[in-house]
């Protein structure tokens, strides 16, 4: 899309959202600021589709290695692991009541993450962050981070002003009412943690979809959209490579609806995308939309909204398949009737674990019962009254390297961009002490804090030196899988065809094998995953013979092949 077209898109959609003189005045301001940002931006366009070939590493700077300086020291190790993109979990100034998703200042990085005193000027902090970006780029790592677009902290200056009264010019940056029946169809996201979406403040109430200290922004006020775009422009100028658009399904509210996935939200995302395309093409806009795939794909638009989005329902279905030792849940969730086809430029982002719980929000009650019953091995792991499980990957999979390797085999080879959550490459376990300290400090029983907390690098080094440790075993598995994946674009860009495995023996009538072929150009890779705790003998694939070389071990494979419990093969045809 040409730059002129991008500005035309902005004009057209803005005029639809905000007809009238006030909107027109702000539109001209926006067009001028976007054009100026494009003229002054010195970072240049990024390679088209770079996010398709990425392996993403998600981390909290302070929990990973205390400060950005500590992170810089570990950049070569992350590069050697095979990571190509860092996703920085919230780094902006915040009271930290929701892990930094409650933003107090969108242009200010928390001073402690930079190892600087609170009195440090904003420009000094920005210079330190630019230095980090430069080092990351030198190591071949792109960097994206979270922008919470739906809400702010109650300590944000806009809200501090807004709560002074109805006459304050910032009042309309948020949603206020004295009639709390408004938006009553909107579900409570933090079930069990918040009793309502309305929080009383004097004689008024303000609207929030998350915690009561995170008031929702009012995008019906065009000034709010202009301010958020200015924030995007600011970070583009610093050299950031992409944005994780947090909680975008909720940013537009319509009375009488559930206030999710509204047309207004899509129009706002189209404006964001046009701004990014105009100023620095191929800057990643990643949709954080915990919705069914049929809704998430709508945030790709016609190639004019987000470049990529998380496939939230796939994660629990991987865990269900592992629990019942049957491929059907994964096959079903990736069936076109559930996961529609996407345009070539778009991409799913895949994960086994993120910074939150193993969410069961997008599964049926029957599936929730199966998954929660199998994996919530301690009562304290429960989150949102059965709608999630707060546990690290190694805990969920019984601290078993074979099961962990199998889960990663599935994630690294199915279509999509994989995400590794910090510490999972070392089989990090739940941190009970960290959770308990957070609970006492905040008074919130947020069990997601079991899956956070700092890495102990001295302990990790000792365990990596011991080939018999869980840490060493899992780290070796991941390094090998990521290295092999990087050599074959069939995994990041190839087509996917399901393969039916012919099984002999006592489990011939079961479906414990998840098999598929990834094809890109002349590359053909056949992936076979044994989901069973039993040995499986496979004598045919789609009714025919097979042979090849296992890319992970360089072992020659011919029919029939016996797979050990939880074993997997990545076969390249000889």
Q: How far is CA 518 from CA 167, 250, 339, 499, in A?
A: 60, 35, 18, 10
- Considering 241, 246, 395, 446, which one is annotated as catalytic? 246
Which phi and psi (to 5°) does residue 497 adopt?
-130, 125
Cα–Cα distance between 434 and 450 in angstroms, integer? 7
Told to judge if 246 belongs to the known catalytic residues of this protein, a careful annotator would answer yes
Asked if residue 51 lies in contact with residue 84, where contact means CB atoms within 8 angstroms, the answer is no
Told to judge if 288 belongs to the known catalytic residues of this protein, a careful annotator would answer yes
Sheet holding 556-558, edge to edge: 495-499, 513-520, 523-530, 568-572, 547-550, 556-558
The contacts of residue 445 (CB under 8 Å, 6+ apart) are 193, 439
Cα–Cα distance between 485 and 570 in angstroms, integer? 10
DSSP E strands in 330-463: the ranges are: 347-351, 358-359, 382-383, 388-389, 417-421
Query: By three-state DSSP, how is residue 458 classified?
Result: helix
Instruction: Give the pair of three-digit tokens for residue 180.
Output: 């709390």
- Considering 62, 154, 216, 288, which one is annotated as catalytic? 288
Element (H, E) at 476: helix 470-486
To the nearest 10°, report the CA torsion of 518, 524, 526, 527.
-50
Cα–Cα distance between 444 and 424 in angstroms, integer? 25
Cα dihedral across residues 426, 49, 89, 372: positive or negative: negative
Q: Could you give the residue numbers annotated as active site? A: 246, 288
């Amino acid at each position: 899309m040409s730059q002129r077209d991008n500005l035309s898109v902005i004009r057209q959609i803005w005029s639809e959202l905000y007809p009238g003189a006030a909107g027109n005045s702000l539109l001209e301001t926006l067009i001028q600021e976007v054009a100026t940002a494009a003229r002054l931006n010195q970072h240049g366009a990024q390679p088209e589709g770079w996010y398709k070939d990425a392996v993403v590493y998600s981390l909290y700077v302070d929990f990973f290695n205390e400060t950005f300086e500590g992170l810089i020291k570990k950049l070569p190790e992350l590069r050697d692991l095979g990571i190509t993109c860092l996703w920085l979990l919230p780094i902006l100034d915040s009271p930290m009541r929701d892990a930094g998703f409650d933003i107090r200042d969108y242009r200010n990085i928390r001073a402690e993450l930079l190892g600087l005193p609170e009195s440090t000027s904003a420009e000094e902090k920005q210079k330190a962050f630019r230095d980090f970006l430069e080092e990351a780029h030198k190591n071949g790592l792109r960097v994206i981070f979270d922008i919470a677009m739906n809400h702010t902290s109650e300590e944000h200056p806009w809200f501090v002003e807004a709560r002074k009264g109805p006459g304050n010019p910032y009042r309309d940056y948020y949603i206020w009412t004295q009639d709390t029946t408004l938006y009553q169809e909107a579900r409570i996201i933090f079930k069990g943690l918040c009793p309502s979406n309305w929080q009383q403040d004097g004689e008024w109430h303000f609207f929030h979809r998350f915690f009561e200290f995170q008031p929702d922004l009012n995008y019906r006020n065009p000034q709010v959209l202009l301010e958020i775009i200015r924030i995007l422009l600011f970070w583009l100028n610093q050299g950031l490579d992409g944005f994780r658009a947090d909680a975008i399904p909720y940013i537009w509210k319509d009375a009488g609806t559930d206030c999710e996935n509204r047309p207004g939200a899509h129009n706002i995302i189209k404006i964001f995308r046009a701004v990014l395309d105009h100023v620095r093409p191929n800057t990643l806009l990643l949709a954080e939309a915990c919705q069914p795939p049929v809704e998430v794909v709508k945030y790709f638009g016609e190639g004019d909204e987000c470049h990529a989005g998380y496939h939230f329902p796939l994660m629990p279905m991987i865990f269900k398949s592992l629990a019942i030792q049957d491929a059907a849940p994964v096959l079903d969730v990736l069936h076109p009737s559930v996961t529609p086809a996407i345009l070539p430029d778009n991409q799913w982002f895949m994960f086994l674990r993120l910074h939150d719980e193993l969410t069961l929000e997008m599964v049926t009650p029957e599936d929730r019962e199966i998954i929660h019953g199998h994996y919530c091995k301690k009562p304290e792991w429960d989150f949102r009254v059965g709608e999630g499980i707060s546990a690290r990957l190694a805990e969920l999979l019984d601290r078993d390297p074979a099961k962990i390797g199998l889960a990663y085999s599935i994630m690294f080879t199915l279509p999509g961009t994989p995400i590794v959550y910090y510490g999972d490459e070392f089989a990090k376990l739940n941190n009970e002490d960290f959770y308990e300290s957070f609970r006492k400090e905040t008074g919130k029983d947020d069990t997601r804090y079991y899956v956070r907390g700092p890495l102990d690098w001295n302990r990790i080094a000792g365990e990596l030196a011991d080939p018999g440790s869980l840490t060493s075993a899992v780290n070796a598995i991941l390094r090998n899988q990521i290295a092999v994946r990087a050599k074959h674009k069939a995994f990041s860009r190839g087509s996917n065809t399901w393969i039916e495995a012919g099984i002999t023996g006592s489990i011939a009538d079961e479906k414990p094998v998840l098999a598929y072929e990834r094809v890109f150009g002349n590359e053909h890779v056949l992936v076979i995953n044994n989901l069973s705790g039993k040995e499986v003998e496979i004598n045919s694939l789609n009714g025919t013979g097979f042979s090849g070389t296992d890319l992970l071990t360089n072992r020659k494979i011919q029919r029939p092949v016996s797979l050990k419990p939880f074993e997997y093969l990545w076969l390249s045809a000889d």
